[in-house]
Amino acid sequence: MSSDEFVVTPWHVEGDIDYDKLIKQFGTQKISNEILIKLQKITGEDHFMLRRGVFFSHRDLNLILDNHEKGKEFFLYTGRGPSGHTHIGHLVPWVFAKWLQDKFNVNMYFQLTDDEKFFSKQELSLKQTSNFALENALDFMALGFDPKKTKIIIDTKNIKTLYPIAAEVAKKINFSNTKAVFGFTNETNIGMIFYTSLQSAPCFIEDKPVLIPLGVDQDPHFRITRDIAQKINRVKPALIHNIMIPSLLGPGGKMSASDEKSTIYTTDSPEQVKKKINKYAFSGGQPDIDEHRKIGGNPDIDVSYQYLRIFFEPDDDKLKKIYEDYKSGKMLTGELKGILIEKINKFLSVHQEKREQVRKNLDDYMMKD
């Protein structure tokens, strides 16, 4: 693959992604200024992930907002494929979803697709993916979703609720559709082929329009859902997409939960975080200090800076100062990494405590069917 090529699918992300090109390729809409202003007006806040383009694209978000202004309700849905422990990149759409739930006071559904990861990962058993589903649920709950307005769906547990909807959806998708969208072959197991109808099911769990905050790699599933929605007399799901969170190892590719080195897990100890960032975080700095002082670093490709921008430093003034100091050479790579390590560890110490506290409430969040 040459340097200007990239691939974004639900099961494979590779290369240096050009997000404007991706918007064209996928046929989504860029989040316009008009939408940003409207969101600000409704919520009374200017969320840094919107302001910085971490959420950069959408489908029908304008309709959701227009309808909201007319008093029509929607609900939220997102999900996670439990192939391992949660890593910090996964938290991006969830933190944003929590903000949306607070601001719009709406119901939220969180789908854990233990079946999907069993189908797609040769090395994982169903027992393993089901266990990871429970572990991942703790990370989600730890973010503080309202237990009265939030339901967690685990595919193998809640199939009774999902199946009648998935059946309606599945009848309208033919094999050549999924083949074209996902590149399936005759060797693909049939669980994978049916799966997109299960990921579609929560879109129609309530008789209201849905808004889905999600990583843009998941868009293809919902492109299919949107194509068939009218055929089953339902409203097309609306989406708001975040960029892929870069792997520690550098630009190109998202963080993968299965590569220890490229990933910071929510369960990592402060020492592990420190070691991983110092050892692996791709740096935009110069090879030696003299040169760095003279030429300066490149924050735009520096993974530590990017993590601050995307998640860990919401304060624009502080972020700007870091950007300028690093670019001018005043700040060294070790110092930049030090700032990130401290931020992540501070976040994780609170998160890990909450994660343990919510363990006893797991049952309150689970969908009962």
- Site residues (vs ligand TRP, CB under 6 A): 10, 78-81, 111, 113, 116, 199, 212, 214, 218
Comparing CB distances to ligand TRP, the nearer of 79 and 297 is 79
Q: Are 145 and 101 in contact (CB under 8 A)?
A: yes
CA distances from 239 to 155, 162, 348, 353 (A): 21, 20, 28, 32
* Minimum gap (Å) between residue 42 Cβ and ligand TRP: 22
Q: Are 219 and 28 in contact (CB under 8 A)?
A: yes
* Minimum gap (Å) between residue 369 Cβ and ligand TRP: 17
* Minimum gap (Å) between residue 349 Cβ and ligand TRP: 26
Comparing CB distances to ligand TRP, the nearer of 83 and 283 is 83
Q: Are 110 and 78 in contact (CB under 8 A)?
A: yes
* Minimum gap (Å) between residue 198 Cβ and ligand TRP: 8
* Minimum gap (Å) between residue 133 Cβ and ligand TRP: 11
Comparing CB distances to ligand TRP, the nearer of 107 and 111 is 111
* Minimum gap (Å) between residue 25 Cβ and ligand TRP: 19
Say how far apart CA 96 and CA 248 lie, in whole Å.
22
Q: Are 106 and 75 in contact (CB under 8 A)?
A: yes
Comparing CB distances to ligand TRP, the nearer of 9 and 345 is 9
Angle at 344 between CA 340 and CA 345, to 5 degrees: 115
Comparing CB distances to ligand TRP, the nearer of 238 and 331 is 238
* Minimum gap (Å) between residue 206 Cβ and ligand TRP: 15
* Minimum gap (Å) between residue 336 Cβ and ligand TRP: 30
Token pair of 148 as six digits:
């009265």
Comparing CB distances to ligand TRP, the nearer of 10 and 296 is 10
Comparing CB distances to ligand TRP, the nearer of 256 and 333 is 256
Comparing CB distances to ligand TRP, the nearer of 129 and 286 is 129
Comparing CB distances to ligand TRP, the nearer of 59 and 274 is 59
Comparing CB distances to ligand TRP, the nearer of 154 and 277 is 154
* Minimum gap (Å) between residue 96 Cβ and ligand TRP: 12
* Minimum gap (Å) between residue 251 Cβ and ligand TRP: 21
